[in-house]
Structure 1
Amino acid sequence: MSKIERPAFLGHLSIIVLTIIGGLLILAVVSCSPDATRKGTPDADVDGDTDAGDVSDVVNDVDGESDGDVPCGDLCPGLGVTGCVDGGMAECGQFDADACLEWSAPVPCEGGTRCDPDTVICREPCGDFCAPFSIVILPDTQYYTSKQPNDADNTYRKQMQWVLDHRASDGIAFVVHVGDITNANTTSQWQIASDAHAMLDAAGMPYTVTTGNHDYLLSGVFGRSDSLFDTYFPASRFAANAWYGGSYGSSNINNYNFFSVGPMRFMVLSIEYSARKDVLCWADDLVASHPDHHVILVTHCYLTHGGGYSGGCPDPDYNAIGATGSAVWDELVSRHSNIFMVLSGHIGDSEYRVKTSNTGAPVHEMLVDYQFEGECTASSAASCTNHCRIGTYHGNGWMRQLIFDPRQNSIRASTFTVEDGNTEMFPQGQPAFFCSELFDPPDPDQTGGDWYASDPASPQHQYAFSYNFVDPPAAGIDSLGRTAFSDRTVNRLSAGDQFAPAVALSPAGAFVTVWEDDSSSTDGAGNFDIFMRGFAPGGCVAFSDAMVHADGAGHQQDPSIAMDAAGNFVVAWSDDTDDNGVYQIHARGFFADGTPRFTIAPVNSVATGQQTLPSVAMAPDGRFVIAWQDDRASDGNGQILMRGFSADGSERFTDRSVHDDALGARLRPRVGLDAAANIVVVWQDDSDGNGAFQIHARGFNADGTNRFARITVNSVADGQQLEPALGVASDGSFVVAWRDDADGGGNYRILSRAFTAAGAGRIADFAVSAAGGQHRTPVLSVAPGGAFLVSWSDDTDGDGNYDIFARSYNSDGSDLRVQWTVNQVANGPQRFPGAAINDPGSQVFVWEDDGDDNGTFQILARGW
């Protein structure tokens, strides 16, 4: 750059000007003529060089004045301009009216300082906010509320008083409770907690509380809706505070709050015990919408002994769905660069570890729970060998303070007790930990533990780590393309039964689920509607649940769904709108966002008798085919028909028989399409009328003309072969699965077989399910590239309670993943799955669930 000559200033008025150019704070020294209105002095008078002549101010200043008459109010830009560049100080050598075009090489600041854009001088990065500040963590308080009276000596209140006594001296900015506020969710226990926190309310001390598992218990039984939390800590208790951000829905169990220290911004996000998927989705959106905040996530159950993720949330005995510690990491924490800390309790221990998020940012994870520390009045700590989870244990007042040092960009964990000096808790009043190497009970069955060091000065209780919280967090969100998610409830309305789910999956991992819903009270119990709900990749809601058909009259059943490459989808079902007991096949098309495209009512051209059990399949370009069971004689001997449609719902070919005759009974059709819209249909067939069903298949061209003749799928004809399932790959090859009882003994297994696009056998019959017990209701999905997935209702142990099992295969029939259990909750019946797989390998399952064994079914989904 060219050198900037500095003015002599003699005989001139010098003005120091701070202004902003191009987003930078600029310090400029401006020299103007003696009358302070014009800059008409020749440059020879200033720098000794030959006067270069005036340049038209119309070019330079666009002020309309004559040549040389530039008002000093234009600040004579370019004279001595300095600014902050790359943390150092630099001079501007060339600029226009808006920004500096050329900066000199920045001169680095020294001694750990950097150029402060507010003052354009070298300062410490923390500027005017270098004093340490802190937050306080309250571990599980459940035994202070259940074992101590509600008075000033309650340890819970002592902890609150300590916070208030040290608020000013320690710069306490926020207080965090990690859950298990109460032990048994009783009014008396909640009152103790409420009174303790009222001390913070009165002082205007910001804090957050959320639930642990004990905060949901009702007479010892866990229930999501049974917590008294919102009676004592409703949103209204916090709403008037500027630091309170809000909550998920009307309940305050999931809440978020803010605190700032100068320009350093923090959000504290508290989520429920074993968070449900919709809560994780809400939290995910919330974190993403605050990229300039350093986020502290608080959840009760996250880490366990040794620093791994807790798999015990939810507790298997609770028969509840929710996220394990690893699911919270995978589905929320790991995706965000600005979640820098996770705080948890639940497990009696002190653990700390650092993980790296998908974005490369550090995440400091901390378990703080001393609730099982018991009182010991022995003469020395060495004699306290049986005071962990034994006798009078409640936590002994231990808590933790996290001290943030902006000058060092460090955080120090300081663990201490408010009962220091209490001789009724510690030997001679000297604090020590008893759930430690000291624990050596006489009875080996006693349930205490050796979880951490007895010395409070141990690095397990006192430690420090570095984290840059002075600067805003680096922006970044990355799921790594992972679409797995834990069990989640599909149906929003929980009244009545929800049955017969089906699912369709897009290439990107978005999916739509349909099912039979009996939540409406207007048409009587047992009169079902068809509902649908859309989900984004990873299981968050894309569009809300809605009724598929235009009105809720009559009875609808047997939903089927198919999706094209763009995510547009078609739903078909058996419809008895007029409630006369006679069904027709109806269908409706939707855009990917759930808005309607077209309606076909009815699909079948002949309305006589019963038309039921539709199956719909769709090509990538949106062409689709519907097959169904036609019993126009109403004699139970159904036949299989199909009809083809364009992507807009117009007819491509009219109703036609799949098997070209009307012999015996043909039931339960399934249809599939390849990339060119060529068709395969399978069904269970008893055309000879002997009462024994076989699985048949037939292929058709996209226009409905014959492609290959009817074939028998199963190689062994003995016994019963029922409930066919079908999947077709892009190249037309297909796989069939079915329920097989070859010996006629009533114990079914799941078999499968693969074929070429021409209907020739490609992989011989093979067993999908393990031997023994009952295996029913198979479903099958084939990815465009040929990998396939089979799922079924499984009762291997023969106790009558089914689970959802699955097994996946490469296109050549080799195992992609061996048999596994899909459902998280093992209690109660889980049955009638739907499943889908795509080429990237995403898998989605849906099924009927009665995990709480109350006789009412809901629809659950899970992604892998």
Structure 2
Amino acid sequence: MKRFRFAAGTALALLASTTAMAQPKCGQFTIAMIPDTQNYTDYTHQKAAGYPLDGVELFYEQMRWIAANARSAGGDIVFATQVGDVWQHYSEWTDPEHEARGFKAMPNSGSSEVAEGPRKETRAFEIPAAIRGFEILKGKLPFSVVPGNHDYDALWTDPAYPPQPERKDSLRIGLRHLGGLDGFRSAFSDQSEFFKGQPWYVDAHDGGADSAQLFTVGKCRFLHIGLQFDAPDASLAWAKRVLHRFPGVPTIVSTHKYLDRDGSHADTPALDQSILDHRDNNPQMVWDKLISENDQIFLVLSGHIGGQGYSVDRNLAGHEVHQMLADYQGRWQVAKELGWKNANATLGDGWMRLLTFRLDGSKPSVRVRTWSTFYKKFSTELPDYAAWYKAHEGMAKLSDAEYLKRDDFSFELPDYQARFGRK
């Protein structure tokens, strides 16, 4: 397997080697990638809870900016994908489906405030806040939302894998399991106000926890598949059926946990449900069972792990699959500037990813930029960008220039025409 990753001194542009083929004209267009929004909708990050601003307003501003720059409003954004962890807290200790399957539960160790237990504010404030945010996008452009680990109803520790405080790795908190998507479905089911009856919302599974969207740009069609966290076997089987329904259509997959900062397929044992439940699949399994086997998937987007990551793997057909991580939830420069002292009260500072596609011509490419709707600037336009975030995101060893390239770069799609030129 040939893999390209972010690394010091490594050029991000890939060599192009394409053959001239007749290709439909797509025109230039942009996809908005919305990283984890959990800290904006967190009920503790609002003025009513003593926070210096209403974090949810930063989330709403992101949605307003996307709507204002949508193709329908004269801009060039044709699709938006939110990659999970829409809200912060859990609402139940366990879910009925896992209880019926014989799963046992014990309280979580005190590794974080979120893991301490369910909160009534999840359904009273956080989920309604998320719904209000996506109402801003309703009718403006096609979009997708997938559940991240925080968007499940319940989080508990499996008694068979209790905490091991003496360990230095993530197993010190034991193995935890997630269950229940009633809260997520209350906002984003296939029958929700956002998706029911929309011609671009072409399929769903598990009540909308997995979903598929088809959007057209110029004379080109694109398929997007959204997968739930550690997508179970049934989700992957459904995704294959969708791909077979739209054979050869260039496909983008969004899921919450997939890529790590070093470009590897993320594997966090303390959150790896596949260890506890044979139905679930960790990122490497998702690659092996779905992405590598289906040649029309050319791009995978994910969040979950703070920072940025990028890599290219070759699938079983020998073609490139570009994979990207972006998660800015741990950033709290905005709060610092407002005099907030608690480093745990992070927001995300309004940052999101913009992927601009230029697929016509002999060298199809994608330009990746990172934009803050709070600072109203791209990452490269802020002189202190690296100083603010580099060390906090575990990349202090990188030079400022290397760090900046993780949020502003281009890559070519040298085999795009060979795969999709006549579609």
Among 381, 399, 413, the residue aligned to 2:352: 399
Checking the alignment, whether the CA contact within 8 Å between 1:314 and 1:324 is kept in structure 2 is no
CA separation of 1:339/1:162 partners in 2, compared to 1, >3 Å: closer, same or farther?
Answer: same
Write the letter of the residue equivalent to 2:404: S
Q: Confirm or deny that 1:240 pairs with 2:191.
A: no
CA distance in 2, matches of 1:378, 1:290: 48
CA distance in 1, matches of 2:344, 2:395: 17
CA separation of 1:199/1:220 partners in 2, compared to 1, >3 Å: closer, same or farther?
Answer: farther
Q: CA deviation at 1:392?
A: 3.0
Q: Confirm or deny that 1:218 pairs with 2:164.
A: no
Question: For 1:336-355, what aligned pairs fall within 5 Å after superposition?
Answer: 336-355=294-313
Could you report, residue by residue, the CA deviation over 1:122-144 in whole angstroms, capped at 9, with x for unpaired residues?
Answer: xxx454x4x31011000000001
- Give the SS at the match of 2:394: coil
Could you report, residue by residue, the CA deviation over 1:823-849 in whole angstroms, capped at 9, with x for unpaired residues?
Answer: xxxxxxxxxxxxxxxxxxxxxxxxxxx
Question: Which residue number corresponds to residue 325 of structure 1?
Answer: 283
Q: Confirm or deny that 1:279 pairs with 2:235.
A: yes
Checking the alignment, whether the CA contact within 8 Å between 2:291 and 2:315 is kept in structure 1 is yes
Among 270, 273, 292, the residue aligned to 1:334: 292
Question: For 1:21-32, what aligned pairs fall within 5 Å after superposition?
Answer: none
Among 159, 164, 173, the residue aligned to 2:78: 173
- Give the SS at the match of 1:284: helix
CA distance in 1, matches of 2:19, 2:258: 39
CA distance in 1, matches of 2:223, 2:270: 26
Could you report, residue by residue, the CA deviation over 1:415-451 in whole angstroms, capped at 9, with x for unpaired residues?
Answer: 11111169xxx9x987725674444xxxxxxxx6337
Question: Which residue number corresponds to residue 859 of structure 1?
Answer: none
Checking the alignment, whether the CA contact within 8 Å between 2:70 and 2:140 is kept in structure 1 is no
Could you report, residue by residue, the CA deviation over 1:805-831 in whole angstroms, capped at 9, with x for unpaired residues?
Answer: xxxxxxxxxxxxxxxxxxxxxxxxxxx
CA separation of 1:400/1:148 partners in 2, compared to 1, >3 Å: closer, same or farther?
Answer: farther
Write the letter of the residue equivalent to 1:281: A
Q: CA deviation at 1:406?
A: 2.6
Checking the alignment, whether the CA contact within 8 Å between 1:293 and 1:473 is kept in structure 2 is yes
Write the letter of the residue equivalent to 2:349: N
CA separation of 1:219/1:284 partners in 2, compared to 1, >3 Å: closer, same or farther?
Answer: closer
- Give the SS at the match of 2:136: helix
Question: Which residue number corresponds to residue 132 of structure 1?
Answer: 28
CA distance in 1, matches of 2:402, 2:65: 18
CA separation of 1:465/1:231 partners in 2, compared to 1, >3 Å: closer, same or farther?
Answer: same
Question: Which residue number corresponds to residue 258 of structure 1?
Answer: 214
Write the letter of the residue equivalent to 1:312: T
CA distance in 2, matches of 1:310, 1:333: 15
Question: Which residue number corresponds to residue 371 of structure 1?
Answer: 329
* Structure ranking higher in helix proportion: 2
Write the letter of the residue equivalent to 1:398: W
Q: CA deviation at 1:336?
A: 1.2
- Structure with the bigger RCO (C-alpha within 8 Å, sep 6+) is 2
Checking the alignment, whether the CA contact within 8 Å between 1:272 and 1:300 is kept in structure 2 is yes
Q: Give the gaps of 5 or more residues in structure 1.
A: 1-111, 117-124, 440-447, 476-864
Write the letter of the residue equivalent to 2:385: A
Write the letter of the residue equivalent to 1:397: G
Q: Confirm or deny that 1:417 pairs with 2:372.
A: yes
CA separation of 1:286/1:431 partners in 2, compared to 1, >3 Å: closer, same or farther?
Answer: farther
Q: CA deviation at 1:289?
A: 3.1
Among 284, 297, 300, the residue aligned to 2:256: 300
CA separation of 1:163/1:377 partners in 2, compared to 1, >3 Å: closer, same or farther?
Answer: closer
TM-score, normalised to structure 2's length? 0.70
* Structure ranking higher in strand proportion: 1
Q: Confirm or deny that 1:183 pairs with 2:138.
A: no
CA separation of 1:276/1:135 partners in 2, compared to 1, >3 Å: closer, same or farther?
Answer: same
Question: For 1:727-738, what aligned pairs fall within 5 Å after superposition?
Answer: none
Write the letter of the residue equivalent to 1:396: D
Question: For 1:301-316, what aligned pairs fall within 5 Å after superposition?
Answer: 301-312=257-268, 315=271
CA distance in 2, matches of 1:273, 1:235: 17
Question: For 1:158-169, what aligned pairs fall within 5 Å after superposition?
Answer: 158-168=61-71, 169=74
CA separation of 1:148/1:473 partners in 2, compared to 1, >3 Å: closer, same or farther?
Answer: farther
- Give the SS at the match of 1:401: strand
Q: Confirm or deny that 1:207 pairs with 2:143.
A: yes
Checking the alignment, whether the CA contact within 8 Å between 1:421 and 1:429 is kept in structure 2 is no
Question: Which residue number corresponds to residue 404 of structure 2?
Answer: 458
Question: Which residue number corresponds to residue 145 of structure 1?
Answer: 41
CA distance in 2, matches of 1:315, 1:357: 26
Checking the alignment, whether the CA contact within 8 Å between 1:420 and 1:431 is kept in structure 2 is no
Question: Which residue number corresponds to residue 245 of structure 2?
Answer: 289
Checking the alignment, whether the CA contact within 8 Å between 1:152 and 1:158 is kept in structure 2 is no
- Give the SS at the match of 1:306: coil
Q: CA deviation at 1:399?
A: 0.3
CA distance in 2, matches of 1:337, 1:115: 18
Q: CA deviation at 1:283?
A: 1.2
CA separation of 1:331/1:377 partners in 2, compared to 1, >3 Å: closer, same or farther?
Answer: closer
Checking the alignment, whether the CA contact within 8 Å between 1:176 and 1:208 is kept in structure 2 is yes
CA separation of 1:302/1:454 partners in 2, compared to 1, >3 Å: closer, same or farther?
Answer: same
Could you report, residue by residue, the CA deviation over 1:290-321 in whole angstroms, capped at 9, with x for unpaired residues?
Answer: 22211111111111131111112671589445
Q: Which of the pair has more CA radius of gyration?
A: 1
CA distance in 2, matches of 1:149, 1:390: 17
Could you report, residue by residue, the CA deviation over 1:602-625 in whole angstroms, capped at 9, with x for unpaired residues?
Answer: xxxxxxxxxxxxxxxxxxxxxxxx
Q: CA deviation at 1:323?
A: 1.1
Could you report, residue by residue, the CA deviation over 1:373-404 in whole angstroms, capped at 9, with x for unpaired residues?
Answer: 1125779xxxx9x99x9243111111001101
Checking the alignment, whether the CA contact within 8 Å between 1:301 and 1:313 is kept in structure 2 is no
CA distance in 1, matches of 2:401, 2:210: 35
Question: Which residue number corresponds to residue 130 of structure 2?
Answer: 193
CA separation of 1:165/1:288 partners in 2, compared to 1, >3 Å: closer, same or farther?
Answer: same
Checking the alignment, whether the CA contact within 8 Å between 1:139 and 1:399 is kept in structure 2 is yes
Q: Give the gaps of 5 or more residues in structure 2.
A: 1-17, 49-53, 91-121, 158-176
Q: CA deviation at 1:259?
A: 0.7
- Give the SS at the match of 1:136: strand
Q: CA RMSD in A?
A: 3.5
Write the letter of the residue equivalent to 1:296: I
Aligned length: 334
Could you report, residue by residue, the CA deviation over 1:620-653 in whole angstroms, capped at 9, with x for unpaired residues?
Answer: xxxxxxxxxxxxxxxxxxxxxxxxxxxxxxxxxx
- Give the SS at the match of 1:335: coil
Q: CA deviation at 1:194?
A: 0.6
Q: CA deviation at 1:276?
A: 0.8
CA distance in 1, matches of 2:418, 2:62: 32
CA distance in 2, matches of 1:330, 1:219: 27
